[in-house]
Copies of this chain bind each other. A is one copy, B any other.
Amino acid sequence: MTKLHCSHRSRGVLADGRELFYYDSKPDRGRERYIDARELEARPAAPELRYDALRDEWVSVASARMSRPTLADSGCPLCPSASGAMTEIPSPDYEVAVFENRFPSFHGPVNVLEDGAMAKRAAGGRCEVVCFASEHDASFRDLDESRVTLVMDALADRTAQLSHLDEVAQVFCFENRGEDIGVTLHHPHGQIYGYPYVTPTSTRMLDSARKYRDRHGGNLFADLVARECEAEARIVAQNSDWVAFVPYSARWPFEVSIYPTVHVPDLAELPRQHRLSFGEVYLPVLRALDSVFDVSMPYISGWHQAPTRVDRDLAHLHLQLLSTRRAATKLKYPAGSESAMGAFVNDMSPEESAARLRDALPPAVSTSR
Protein backbone atom coordinates (compact mmCIF):
# COMPACT_ATOMS: atom_id res chain seq x y z
CA MET A 1 0.00 0.00 0.00
CA THR A 2 1.45 3.30 -1.10
CA LYS A 3 0.79 6.56 0.67
CA LEU A 4 -0.41 9.18 -1.78
CA HIS A 5 -0.44 12.63 -0.20
CA CYS A 6 -3.09 11.91 2.41
CA SER A 7 -4.88 9.04 0.62
CA HIS A 8 -3.72 5.46 0.25
CA ARG A 9 -3.41 3.38 -2.89
CA SER A 10 -3.23 -0.40 -3.21
CA ARG A 11 -2.96 -2.44 -6.38
CA GLY A 12 -4.60 -5.58 -7.71
CA VAL A 13 -4.73 -7.48 -10.99
CA LEU A 14 -7.92 -8.75 -12.64
CA ALA A 15 -8.26 -12.24 -14.14
CA ASP A 16 -7.39 -11.05 -17.66
CA GLY A 17 -4.34 -9.07 -16.54
CA ARG A 18 -5.91 -5.63 -16.21
CA GLU A 19 -4.68 -3.42 -13.39
CA LEU A 20 -6.92 -2.37 -10.50
CA PHE A 21 -6.29 0.30 -7.86
CA TYR A 22 -8.07 0.97 -4.59
CA TYR A 23 -7.91 4.46 -3.10
CA ASP A 24 -8.67 4.62 0.60
CA SER A 25 -8.83 7.31 3.22
CA LYS A 26 -7.23 4.97 5.79
CA PRO A 27 -4.13 2.78 5.34
CA ASP A 28 -3.86 -1.02 5.40
CA ARG A 29 -7.38 -2.02 4.42
CA GLY A 30 -5.98 -5.28 2.99
CA ARG A 31 -7.92 -5.04 -0.27
CA GLU A 32 -5.07 -6.78 -2.17
CA ARG A 33 -5.94 -10.12 -0.61
CA TYR A 34 -9.14 -10.48 -2.66
CA ILE A 35 -8.45 -12.37 -5.90
CA ASP A 36 -10.46 -12.10 -9.13
CA ALA A 37 -11.60 -15.72 -9.51
CA ARG A 38 -13.55 -15.20 -12.75
CA GLU A 39 -12.67 -16.86 -16.02
CA LEU A 40 -12.43 -13.99 -18.45
CA GLU A 41 -11.85 -14.08 -22.18
CA ALA A 42 -8.61 -12.57 -23.39
CA ARG A 43 -8.82 -8.81 -23.89
CA PRO A 44 -9.86 -7.67 -27.35
CA ALA A 45 -7.20 -6.47 -29.79
CA ALA A 46 -6.31 -2.76 -29.62
CA PRO A 47 -8.71 -0.55 -31.56
CA GLU A 48 -7.59 1.27 -34.70
CA LEU A 49 -6.82 4.94 -34.96
CA ARG A 50 -7.73 6.31 -38.38
CA TYR A 51 -6.66 9.65 -39.75
CA ASP A 52 -9.37 12.00 -40.99
CA ALA A 53 -7.44 13.95 -43.60
CA LEU A 54 -10.30 16.44 -44.11
CA ARG A 55 -10.53 17.53 -40.47
CA ASP A 56 -6.89 16.72 -39.59
CA GLU A 57 -8.10 14.64 -36.64
CA TRP A 58 -7.82 11.02 -35.47
CA VAL A 59 -10.87 8.78 -34.98
CA SER A 60 -10.75 5.59 -32.89
CA VAL A 61 -12.53 2.60 -34.44
CA ALA A 62 -13.24 0.26 -31.53
CA SER A 63 -15.60 -2.40 -32.81
CA ALA A 64 -15.08 -4.64 -29.74
CA ARG A 65 -16.97 -2.02 -27.74
CA MET A 66 -20.21 -2.94 -29.52
CA SER A 67 -20.63 -5.84 -27.12
CA ARG A 68 -20.01 -3.93 -23.89
CA PRO A 69 -22.55 -4.45 -21.08
CA THR A 70 -25.66 -2.30 -20.92
CA LEU A 71 -28.30 -1.39 -18.36
CA ALA A 72 -30.45 -4.31 -19.52
CA ASP A 73 -27.86 -6.91 -18.58
CA SER A 74 -28.15 -8.37 -15.11
CA GLY A 75 -25.62 -7.85 -12.33
CA CYS A 76 -23.75 -4.60 -11.89
CA PRO A 77 -20.04 -5.08 -12.72
CA LEU A 78 -19.09 -2.03 -10.62
CA CYS A 79 -20.54 -3.21 -7.29
CA PRO A 80 -18.14 -4.86 -4.85
CA SER A 81 -17.86 -8.62 -5.25
CA ALA A 82 -19.94 -10.86 -3.01
CA SER A 83 -19.60 -14.62 -2.67
CA GLY A 84 -21.06 -16.12 -5.81
CA ALA A 85 -21.20 -12.78 -7.61
CA MET A 86 -17.78 -11.69 -8.73
CA THR A 87 -17.61 -8.26 -10.35
CA GLU A 88 -14.84 -6.08 -11.78
CA ILE A 89 -13.87 -5.26 -8.19
CA PRO A 90 -12.79 -8.34 -6.19
CA SER A 91 -12.99 -6.65 -2.78
CA PRO A 92 -16.28 -6.97 -0.81
CA ASP A 93 -16.10 -3.24 -0.13
CA TYR A 94 -14.26 -0.15 -1.38
CA GLU A 95 -14.17 3.63 -1.16
CA VAL A 96 -12.84 4.60 -4.60
CA ALA A 97 -11.72 1.97 -7.11
CA VAL A 98 -10.09 2.38 -10.52
CA PHE A 99 -9.52 -0.37 -13.07
CA GLU A 100 -8.60 -0.71 -16.71
CA ASN A 101 -11.63 -0.69 -18.99
CA ARG A 102 -12.44 -4.11 -20.43
CA PHE A 103 -13.74 -2.46 -23.62
CA PRO A 104 -11.20 0.33 -24.20
CA SER A 105 -11.34 3.02 -26.87
CA PHE A 106 -7.53 3.19 -26.68
CA HIS A 107 -5.20 0.49 -25.41
CA GLY A 108 -1.52 -0.45 -25.35
CA PRO A 109 1.33 0.94 -27.45
CA VAL A 110 0.84 3.07 -30.56
CA ASN A 111 2.04 1.36 -33.75
CA VAL A 112 2.10 2.77 -37.26
CA LEU A 113 -0.02 0.51 -39.48
CA GLU A 114 -0.31 2.71 -42.56
CA ASP A 115 0.79 6.21 -43.50
CA GLY A 116 -0.40 8.91 -45.88
CA ALA A 117 -3.85 10.39 -46.47
CA MET A 118 -5.50 7.28 -45.04
CA ALA A 119 -3.05 6.82 -42.18
CA LYS A 120 -3.77 4.13 -39.60
CA ARG A 121 -2.31 3.40 -36.15
CA ALA A 122 -2.93 0.86 -33.43
CA ALA A 123 -5.04 3.07 -31.13
CA GLY A 124 -2.63 2.94 -28.22
CA GLY A 125 -3.29 4.65 -24.94
CA ARG A 126 -5.21 3.56 -21.88
CA CYS A 127 -8.83 3.67 -20.65
CA GLU A 128 -9.82 3.30 -17.02
CA VAL A 129 -13.06 3.22 -15.05
CA VAL A 130 -13.33 5.12 -11.75
CA CYS A 131 -15.93 3.99 -9.21
CA PHE A 132 -16.84 6.84 -6.86
CA ALA A 133 -18.60 4.74 -4.21
CA SER A 134 -19.50 1.13 -3.54
CA GLU A 135 -23.22 1.97 -3.16
CA HIS A 136 -24.99 1.16 -6.42
CA ASP A 137 -27.68 3.82 -6.04
CA ALA A 138 -25.43 6.70 -5.03
CA SER A 139 -24.80 9.70 -7.24
CA PHE A 140 -21.84 12.07 -7.24
CA ARG A 141 -24.03 14.88 -5.92
CA ASP A 142 -24.72 12.85 -2.75
CA LEU A 143 -21.09 12.09 -1.87
CA ASP A 144 -19.70 13.90 1.15
CA GLU A 145 -16.88 16.40 0.75
CA SER A 146 -14.20 14.05 2.07
CA ARG A 147 -15.13 11.45 -0.56
CA VAL A 148 -14.91 14.15 -3.23
CA THR A 149 -11.37 14.84 -2.03
CA LEU A 150 -10.54 11.12 -2.24
CA VAL A 151 -11.86 11.08 -5.82
CA MET A 152 -9.72 14.15 -6.60
CA ASP A 153 -6.68 12.37 -5.11
CA ALA A 154 -7.39 9.31 -7.22
CA LEU A 155 -7.80 11.34 -10.43
CA ALA A 156 -4.62 13.30 -9.67
CA ASP A 157 -2.70 10.07 -9.08
CA ARG A 158 -4.05 8.41 -12.22
CA THR A 159 -3.24 11.53 -14.26
CA ALA A 160 0.34 11.45 -12.94
CA GLN A 161 0.70 7.70 -13.60
CA LEU A 162 -0.75 7.75 -17.11
CA SER A 163 1.32 10.82 -18.00
CA HIS A 164 4.44 8.66 -17.64
CA LEU A 165 3.32 6.24 -20.37
CA ASP A 166 4.93 6.83 -23.77
CA GLU A 167 1.65 6.22 -25.55
CA VAL A 168 -0.37 8.81 -23.60
CA ALA A 169 -0.36 12.37 -24.95
CA GLN A 170 -3.26 13.73 -22.87
CA VAL A 171 -5.31 12.50 -19.90
CA PHE A 172 -9.05 13.23 -19.71
CA CYS A 173 -11.03 12.42 -16.54
CA PHE A 174 -14.79 12.63 -16.97
CA GLU A 175 -18.21 11.50 -15.80
CA ASN A 176 -21.27 10.93 -18.01
CA ARG A 177 -24.49 10.72 -16.02
CA GLY A 178 -27.97 9.77 -17.21
CA GLU A 179 -29.51 7.45 -19.76
CA ASP A 180 -30.41 10.50 -21.88
CA ILE A 181 -26.71 10.89 -22.54
CA GLY A 182 -26.09 7.22 -23.27
CA VAL A 183 -24.89 5.97 -19.90
CA THR A 184 -24.90 2.17 -19.97
CA LEU A 185 -24.21 1.51 -16.27
CA HIS A 186 -26.02 3.26 -13.38
CA HIS A 187 -23.43 2.66 -10.66
CA PRO A 188 -21.79 6.04 -9.94
CA HIS A 189 -18.59 6.06 -11.97
CA GLY A 190 -16.42 8.12 -14.23
CA GLN A 191 -13.82 7.31 -16.81
CA ILE A 192 -10.25 8.21 -17.65
CA TYR A 193 -9.05 8.33 -21.25
CA GLY A 194 -5.32 8.39 -21.86
CA TYR A 195 -5.37 9.58 -25.48
CA PRO A 196 -2.49 8.81 -27.84
CA TYR A 197 -2.90 12.30 -29.36
CA VAL A 198 -3.73 15.80 -28.13
CA THR A 199 -7.51 16.11 -28.56
CA PRO A 200 -9.05 18.40 -31.20
CA THR A 201 -10.67 20.73 -28.64
CA SER A 202 -7.48 21.10 -26.62
CA THR A 203 -5.47 21.67 -29.79
CA ARG A 204 -7.72 24.58 -30.71
CA MET A 205 -7.72 26.04 -27.21
CA LEU A 206 -3.93 25.84 -26.99
CA ASP A 207 -3.57 27.49 -30.41
CA SER A 208 -5.77 30.34 -29.17
CA ALA A 209 -3.77 30.63 -25.94
CA ARG A 210 -0.49 30.69 -27.88
CA LYS A 211 -1.69 33.49 -30.18
CA TYR A 212 -3.04 35.41 -27.20
CA ARG A 213 0.26 35.12 -25.30
CA ASP A 214 2.23 36.25 -28.34
CA ARG A 215 -0.03 39.27 -28.72
CA HIS A 216 -0.88 40.24 -25.12
CA GLY A 217 1.64 38.43 -22.94
CA GLY A 218 -0.90 36.90 -20.51
CA ASN A 219 -2.68 33.57 -20.19
CA LEU A 220 -5.94 33.51 -22.14
CA PHE A 221 -7.71 31.13 -19.75
CA ALA A 222 -6.76 33.15 -16.66
CA ASP A 223 -7.68 36.43 -18.33
CA LEU A 224 -11.11 35.11 -19.38
CA VAL A 225 -11.77 33.93 -15.82
CA ALA A 226 -10.80 37.39 -14.53
CA ARG A 227 -13.30 38.98 -16.93
CA GLU A 228 -16.05 36.61 -15.80
CA CYS A 229 -15.34 37.55 -12.18
CA GLU A 230 -15.46 41.23 -13.13
CA ALA A 231 -18.70 40.83 -15.12
CA GLU A 232 -20.33 38.88 -12.23
CA ALA A 233 -23.56 38.17 -14.15
CA ARG A 234 -22.62 34.58 -14.99
CA ILE A 235 -20.96 33.56 -11.70
CA VAL A 236 -22.76 30.60 -10.09
CA ALA A 237 -20.71 29.85 -6.95
CA GLN A 238 -17.22 30.35 -5.56
CA ASN A 239 -14.93 30.02 -2.57
CA SER A 240 -11.33 31.12 -2.08
CA ASP A 241 -9.99 28.21 -4.17
CA TRP A 242 -12.55 27.79 -6.96
CA VAL A 243 -14.89 29.82 -9.16
CA ALA A 244 -17.85 28.37 -11.08
CA PHE A 245 -19.53 30.31 -13.90
CA VAL A 246 -21.59 29.86 -17.04
CA PRO A 247 -19.16 30.91 -19.78
CA TYR A 248 -19.95 33.96 -21.90
CA SER A 249 -20.23 31.86 -25.06
CA ALA A 250 -21.80 28.71 -23.56
CA ARG A 251 -22.87 26.17 -26.19
CA TRP A 252 -25.36 24.29 -24.00
CA PRO A 253 -28.44 25.42 -22.05
CA PHE A 254 -26.66 24.52 -18.81
CA GLU A 255 -22.90 24.68 -19.00
CA VAL A 256 -20.62 25.55 -16.09
CA SER A 257 -16.86 26.10 -16.10
CA ILE A 258 -15.09 25.57 -12.77
CA TYR A 259 -11.55 26.96 -12.46
CA PRO A 260 -9.11 26.73 -9.56
CA THR A 261 -7.78 30.13 -8.48
CA VAL A 262 -4.26 28.84 -9.11
CA HIS A 263 -2.90 28.39 -12.62
CA VAL A 264 -1.86 24.72 -12.88
CA PRO A 265 -1.72 22.44 -15.95
CA ASP A 266 -3.47 19.41 -14.49
CA LEU A 267 -4.89 17.65 -11.45
CA ALA A 268 -1.51 16.10 -10.64
CA GLU A 269 -0.14 19.59 -9.98
CA LEU A 270 -3.20 20.91 -8.16
CA PRO A 271 -2.38 21.83 -4.53
CA ARG A 272 -4.03 19.59 -1.98
CA GLN A 273 -5.86 22.56 -0.48
CA HIS A 274 -7.85 22.86 -3.72
CA ARG A 275 -8.65 19.17 -3.67
CA LEU A 276 -9.97 19.55 -0.15
CA SER A 277 -12.23 22.49 -1.04
CA PHE A 278 -13.49 21.39 -4.47
CA GLY A 279 -16.60 19.67 -3.13
CA GLU A 280 -17.66 22.88 -1.40
CA VAL A 281 -18.28 24.45 -4.82
CA TYR A 282 -18.93 21.43 -7.07
CA LEU A 283 -21.51 19.59 -4.95
CA PRO A 284 -23.88 22.60 -4.63
CA VAL A 285 -23.61 23.20 -8.39
CA LEU A 286 -24.54 19.57 -9.12
CA ARG A 287 -27.47 19.83 -6.71
CA ALA A 288 -28.60 23.10 -8.29
CA LEU A 289 -28.55 21.44 -11.69
CA ASP A 290 -31.00 18.79 -10.47
CA SER A 291 -33.17 21.44 -8.78
CA VAL A 292 -33.66 23.74 -11.78
CA PHE A 293 -36.38 21.55 -13.29
CA ASP A 294 -36.73 19.25 -10.29
CA VAL A 295 -35.57 16.29 -12.38
CA SER A 296 -32.34 14.34 -12.39
CA MET A 297 -30.36 16.02 -15.16
CA PRO A 298 -28.23 14.16 -17.69
CA TYR A 299 -24.77 15.68 -17.62
CA ILE A 300 -21.22 15.44 -18.89
CA SER A 301 -18.49 16.62 -16.53
CA GLY A 302 -14.86 16.58 -17.65
CA TRP A 303 -11.47 17.95 -16.66
CA HIS A 304 -9.61 19.91 -19.33
CA GLN A 305 -5.96 19.11 -18.63
CA ALA A 306 -2.70 20.03 -20.31
CA PRO A 307 -1.11 17.58 -22.75
CA THR A 308 1.42 15.35 -21.00
CA ARG A 309 4.51 16.61 -22.82
CA VAL A 310 3.78 19.87 -24.69
CA ASP A 311 2.20 23.26 -23.97
CA ARG A 312 1.96 22.61 -20.25
CA ASP A 313 2.57 26.29 -19.48
CA LEU A 314 -0.20 27.42 -21.87
CA ALA A 315 -2.96 25.15 -20.59
CA HIS A 316 -5.06 25.86 -17.48
CA LEU A 317 -6.79 23.09 -15.57
CA HIS A 318 -10.59 23.50 -15.46
CA LEU A 319 -13.74 21.45 -15.29
CA GLN A 320 -16.47 21.68 -17.94
CA LEU A 321 -19.92 20.59 -16.76
CA LEU A 322 -22.73 20.54 -19.30
CA SER A 323 -26.27 19.29 -19.48
CA THR A 324 -28.24 18.69 -22.64
CA ARG A 325 -31.59 19.31 -20.93
CA ARG A 326 -33.15 22.65 -21.92
CA ALA A 327 -36.52 22.21 -20.20
CA ALA A 328 -38.13 19.67 -17.89
CA THR A 329 -39.27 17.59 -20.87
CA LYS A 330 -36.95 18.83 -23.63
CA LEU A 331 -33.39 17.91 -24.53
CA LYS A 332 -30.96 19.87 -26.67
CA TYR A 333 -29.64 17.58 -29.37
CA PRO A 334 -26.51 18.24 -31.35
CA ALA A 335 -28.29 18.04 -34.73
CA GLY A 336 -27.37 19.17 -38.25
CA SER A 337 -25.67 22.47 -37.51
CA GLU A 338 -23.70 21.17 -34.55
CA SER A 339 -22.88 17.65 -35.79
CA ALA A 340 -22.10 18.39 -39.42
CA MET A 341 -20.87 22.01 -39.34
CA GLY A 342 -19.60 22.38 -35.75
CA ALA A 343 -21.77 25.52 -35.49
CA PHE A 344 -23.59 25.80 -32.15
CA VAL A 345 -26.90 27.51 -31.42
CA ASN A 346 -27.77 27.90 -27.74
CA ASP A 347 -31.45 28.54 -26.98
CA MET A 348 -30.74 29.70 -23.41
CA SER A 349 -28.92 32.92 -22.63
CA PRO A 350 -25.88 32.24 -20.42
CA GLU A 351 -27.00 34.99 -18.01
CA GLU A 352 -30.43 33.39 -17.57
CA SER A 353 -28.85 29.98 -17.14
CA ALA A 354 -26.53 31.33 -14.41
CA ALA A 355 -29.42 33.08 -12.66
CA ARG A 356 -31.50 29.90 -12.65
CA LEU A 357 -28.61 27.88 -11.23
CA ARG A 358 -27.93 30.51 -8.52
CA ASP A 359 -31.62 30.49 -7.57
CA ALA A 360 -31.51 26.71 -7.28
CA LEU A 361 -28.41 26.58 -5.06
CA PRO A 362 -28.84 25.09 -1.60
CA PRO A 363 -28.98 27.84 1.08
CA ALA A 364 -25.70 29.17 2.45
CA VAL A 365 -23.65 28.63 -0.68
CA SER A 366 -21.58 31.63 -1.51
CA THR A 367 -21.73 33.29 -4.91
CA SER A 368 -18.93 35.63 -3.85
CA ARG A 369 -15.56 35.02 -2.22
Q: Which A residues fall within an 8 A CB radius of B?
A: 47, 50-63, 65-66, 70, 105, 117-118, 172, 174-176, 181-183, 191, 193, 195, 199-202, 204-205, 207-209, 212, 220-221, 223-224, 227, 231, 247-251, 300-302, 304, 320, 322, 326-327, 330-337, 339-350, 352
Contacts and interface: CB of A to CB of B under 8 A. Distances in A.
B341 A248 contact: no
B53 A201 contact: no
Chain copies in the assembled complex? 2
A266 to B, nearest CB: 14
Contact of A346 (B60, B174, B224, B344): B60
Given A59-B249, A65-B345, A224 B117 contact: yes
A63 B352 contact: yes
B57 A342 contact: yes
B54 A105 contact: no
Contacts of A339: 300, 322, 334
Given A105-B345, A199-B343, A345-B65, A336 B117 contact: no
20 contacts: A51-B249, A53-B249, A54-B204, A54-B209, A56-B204, A57-B343, A59-B249, A60-B345, A63-B347, A63-B348, A66-B327, A66-B348, A105-B345, A175-B336, A183-B335, A195-B341, A200-B342, A201-B340, A302-B341, A334-B339
A286 to B, nearest CB: 16
Given A59-B344, A117-B227, A337-B174, A331 B54 contact: no
A321 to B, nearest CB: 10
Given A201-B342, A227-B118, A332-B182, A350 B54 contact: no
Given A63-B352, A336-B175, A342-B200, A205 B55 contact: yes
Contact of A199 (B249, B302, B341, B350): B341
A205 B52 CA distance: 10
A191 to B, nearest CB: 7
Contact of A53 (B52, B183, B220, B326): B220
Contacts of A345: 47, 59-60, 62, 65, 105
Nearest to A248: B118
